[in-house]
Each structure stands twice: as structure tokens, then as C-alpha cells.
Amino acid sequence: MALVMGVDSSTQSCKVVVVDAGTGRVVREGRAAHPSGTSVGPEAWWQALQDAIAQAGGLDGVAAVSIAGQQHGMVVLDDDGAVIRDALLWNDTRSAQAARDLIDEVGAAEFAERTGAVPVASFTGTKLRWLRDAEPDNAARVAAVALPHDWLTWRLRGFGPGNPVLEELVTDRSDASGTAYWGADGYDLDLFRRSLGHDAVLPRVLGPWESAGTLAGGALVGPGAGDNAGAALGLGAGVGDVVVSLGTSGTVFAVSDAPTRDTSGTVAGFADATGRFLPLVATLNAARVLDAFAGLLGVTHDELGALALAAEPGADGVVLVPWFEGERTPNLPHAQASLTGLTLASTNRPNFARAAIEGMLSGLAAGLEAIQAQGVEVRRILLIGGAAANEGVARIAAQVFDAEIVVPAAGEYVALGAARQAAGVLAGGPVEWAVATTRAVDPDHRAAIRARYDIVAALRAAE
């Protein structure tokens, strides 16, 4: 039995699965936590990766490995292969003005045409522009720019400060498509130079089943992927499938044969990990909203879900607009959260729990409508990510989204997608694995939840 390893280096942790390359069955697993914060030293990810791999029994017997990871993070390297400063993550909003500056110079429609998306503070290019303006000495030292998964792949292959071969950096088109300087013809070096202010080495973009090389022990290394594209691959998502992922970020995305170019900037026209496209809407406020409310109410996640189900849909008028970390969609990087609609009668624990879940999901439901408006077909929604394990979340999702909700069997779908890519690299092309058992949630759409949320969110956005 050939074994392959898949990695998800996500915002909060690193997850490793070792699976049977023929069937996708998980045989070993490991996990290690990442530091909190929106600016993180990449060495912590490298340490967590090594810990998680060790927990998963190491690379013994592994024939191929691929690393997927959180998108967009800016990892800047000097000539010696050393990291110049902490990486700015996808949820760091300090580059909001830099994003506006780039759009003013290039134009939103031109950005959408050239890269498939209009940049917001999450995108790598805006972080490079921030570096150019705020830390010019650091910007001048940049010899290479990588994304989190590119850099980890490079380290795993033995490169780094002791062996700084920058030209050995590799990536894939799914993660490259989130930089704001990559398009249908490859890197857009004009946009890259506008961001950083000068040229630098960029990771070579490998094909979906192309190998980056071989580890000392003999394992092939795959190109890796952005985490959302990794999840789509792990789920075997096809045209008509929409994935809603509830991790640190909330994302809603669909697999599409055709690219999208939303000049409003709501839908990011990313690439997937197989040669297709992945139109995506992301929010900055998802599972951590529930973490905060579970803490506030002094309950576990499961108890929070049960409390929410004890309240009526609409939470008796209580609305949480959950922009705790600012927001990306809508693009309000400096916004704050608000809880409104409180009366003496409605101020109770079940309504608070329900408002938290409804608020987290409502922004994503609006995102799904924006994706549909791009002409993308929607047949069903697959609910994944840490908060998808919550029964209350799944049932309330069936009330907030106007589409069939399906919850795949619990699993690390990003890491599984990376493993499936590794199996494809080994086989020289895509492999078919049976998709894990899924559970459909009874349809229960309640249009009134979104109607009220949209009114309150629009008022907050206008402030």
C-alpha cells in the first residue's frame, strides 16, 4: 500500500494526514498549534509542521507529500534566504490604504481583467505595497516573495538560510491567484513592481500534478495549494458544488470551468488546484465569533449550538453584525461588531447564541448570491471547517442559505486535498477517491433572517 501525506498549514494550526494513496483512507494524523495574531514569524509554522509530521509517524513509508496552506500571507526573504520580518497574514488589515492606492493607480476594472480580482488588504500585493511605503529598508532587502505554503515546501525540501537557493521556490496556480500579481498569462510583473517597488524572485508555478523534486528519503513533493482550493480537491467538489468553510475565515466558493471577473471586488476570481477556477468570497469573522460568544456565555461550542436552537429563527430581533476584526466582504477594514435589537424581553442567552451564528452565516449567504450573480451554478452547499462540526450551525445554515446543505463526514478536507494532490503527483494525473459519507440537513429556509440582517448591516456599513 503506497502512502501519501497531506498538510494543511492553516491560520490556527498545522494538520497532517497520512493516507492510503489508492483509497484516501486516513492511516495516521498529527496536529500542532500556530501562534495567534495577524503577523507571525514563519519559523513557528516550520516548527509546527515538523511537530505535526512527527506526531503523524514521520515521513517513513510516505511516497509523496503536498502542503496546502492559508492564502495570501506575505513571506519576504533576503539574498541569504532569511525571513526579513514577520509574515503579514490574510487577516491583517494594515494594508487597506495600500490596496486603495493600487486601485487608484491601476483601476478596479483593469485589476479584475488582469488578475481576476480587485485587491483588498488581504492580498499579498497590497502587503508588499505597505512594506514599500512603511518599511522601505526592509522592502529594499527583499530578494524573494513567497506565500506560506510555498515557503514551507521550500523548507521541507531542505532549502533555507543554510541553503538559500531562491530559484527553487515553487507554488501552484491556486495560491498564486491570490497574490494580486498573477493572471491568465502567469505573473504580472508590472503589478508586482508597482507593489514592492522592484523585481524579486517569485516561486515557479507548477502544474497541478507536477513534482517540485524529491526528499532525501525518496518522497516526491507536490506543488501544494491555497487552503480553499485544497478543500475543493479533498471534497472532490465539481461544478454545481459550493463549499462554505467556517474556520478563522469564513469562505464561500464554487468550482467553475470559466473564470470570473467581478469588477465590484466582492467575488475574487481565484484558480483551483486542478486547472479550473474557484470564485470565492471571504469574511474575516467566522469560527472565532462563536469562540467569543461561547466564552461570553460560559458554554462549550456544542452548548452554544444547542442554546441557539432553543431560540426562534431571527433571535427575536437580536442581530449581531460580527465585524470584530474589521471586515473584508463587505470591504470595511476598520469596522467593528455590533449587537442590536435588544429589548428586555429579547436579551437572553439563547437569542445571543443564535444571533452569533446567524450573523456569522448571513455575510456568507450574501457572498453566495454574489457568486451566483457571476453566472456560477449552485446545486448544493458543502459545509466544512472547524465550526461545521456544530449541529446548531448546520441547522441554522439550512435556515440562512436558500440551498440544500450537506455536511461531509468530519475530516480535515484541506489536508486531504493536499494528500490527494500528492497521490496525483505519484500517479502522474488526478486520482479518484470515494468522497466521505455526507449528511443532508433538512431544508428550512427562513428568508426573514437575512432580510433583517441585511438592513442592520447596511446601516452599520454606512456609518
Binding site for ligand ADP (CB under 6 A): 10-13, 247-248, 287-288, 290-291, 301-302, 385-387, 389-390
Q: Cβ atoms within 10 A of the Cβ of 1, count? A: 10
Site string for ligand 5SP, 38-77 (x = CB under 6 A): --------------------------------xxx-----
Contact partner at residue 390 from ligand ADP, ligand 5SP, none, CB < 5 to 8 Å by partner kind: ligand ADP
In the complex, the smallest distance separating the C-beta of residue 350 from ligand 5SP, rounded to whole angstroms, is: 27
Query: 197: phi > 0 → left, psi -120 to 50 → alpha, else beta; which?
Result: left
DSSP per residue, 403-463: S-EEEEPS--HHHHHHHHHHHHHHHTS----PPPPEEEEPP---HHHHHHHHHHHHHHHH-
CB of 356 to ligand 5SP, least distance (A): 17
Among all residues, whose Cβ is closest to ligand ADP?
Answer: 386
What nine digits make up the cell of 9? 498549514
DSSP reduced 3-state for 319: strand
257 included as an active-site residue: no
Task: Tell me if residue 320 falls in helix, strand or coil.
Answer: strand
86 touching ligand 5SP, by CB under 6 A = no
By the rule CB under 6 A, 95 interacts with ligand 5SP:
no
Partner from ligand 5SP, ligand ADP, none binding residue 115, C-beta < 5-8 Å depending on class: none
45 or 159, CB closer to ligand 5SP?
45
Judged by beta carbon distances under 5 to 8 A according to partner kind, the member of ligand ADP, ligand 5SP, none in contact with residue 251 is ligand 5SP
Report the Cα 338 to chain-centroid distance in Å.
Answer: 25
The beta-strand segments (E) located in 75-173 are 75-77, 87-88, 144-146, 170-172
In the list ligand ADP, ligand 5SP, none, the entry touching 319 (Cβ below 5 to 8 angstroms by class) is: none
Contact 204, 145 (CB under 8 A): no
Instruction: Indicate if the alpha-carbon torsion angle 112, 115, 117, 122 is positive or negative.
Output: negative
Q: Which amino acid is at 30?
A: G
Taking CB under 6 A as the rule, does residue 282 contact ligand 5SP? Answer: yes
Q: For ligand ADP, which is the closer residue by CB, 78 or 303?
A: 303
Compute CA distances 371 → 120, 225, 271, 356, 364, whole Å: 17, 22, 14, 24, 10
Closest distance between ligand ADP and the C-beta of residue 419, in Å?
16
- Binding residue (CB under 6 A) for ligand 5SP from 92, 227, 316, 327: 227
Among the listed residues 66, 95, 195, 228, the single contact to ligand 5SP using CB under 6 A: 228
Please state, in angstroms and as integers, the Cα–Cα distance from residue 166 to each residue in 140, 146, 338, 438, following that order.
Answer: 16, 10, 46, 43
248 binds ligand 5SP (CB under 6 A): yes
Shortest spacing between CB 194 and ligand 5SP, in angstroms: 21
Q: In whole angstroms, what is the distance from residue 256 CA to residue 262 CA? A: 14
**Range 250-279, binding ligand 5SP (CB under 6 A):** 251
Choice between 58 and 324, CB closer to ligand 5SP: 324
Q: Which does 290 bind (CB under 5 to 8 A by kind): ligand 5SP, ligand ADP, none?
A: ligand ADP
Of 86, 227, 241, 272, the active-site residue reads 227
Q: Which three cell numbers stand for residue 249?
A: 475565515
Which one of ligand ADP, ligand 5SP, none interacts with residue 301, CB within 5 to 8 A by kind?
Answer: ligand ADP
147 contacts 170 by C-beta, under 8 angstroms: no
Q: Which positions touch ligand 5SP (CB under 6 A)?
A: 10-11, 70-72, 90, 122, 178, 227-228, 245, 247-249, 251, 280, 282
Return the active site residues.
227
